[in-house]
Amino acid sequence: MAKRYATEAGYAVADSALQLHGGYGYLTEYGIEKIVRDLRVHRILEGTNEIMSLIIARGLTGAA
């Protein structure tokens, strides 16, 4: 639950920061796009967040 929440929240914050800076946020020189890219992969690494949702749902419902 923590992995899924933290990676979704972190990415949303970084994405908002990029949006706030408009076109400049997208440029390499400002560094925000790197933060967005670096955070994006954590929704995939160590088990994708979709699989995290599956594991959480199984835990909550007791389904096998």
Total Cβ atoms within 10 A of residue 18 = 18
**Residue of 8, 29, 33, 46 marked active site:** 46
Distance CA(34)–CA(40), nearest Å, equals 10
Q: Which region, judged by CB under 6 A, interacts with ligand FAD, from 5-13, 20-28, 30-38, 48-56? A: 48-56
Distance CA(55)–CA(31), nearest Å, equals 34
38 binds ligand FAD (CB under 6 A): no
> Which residues make up the interface to ligand FAD (CB under 6 A)?
41, 44-45, 47-48, 50-51, 54
Active site residues: 46
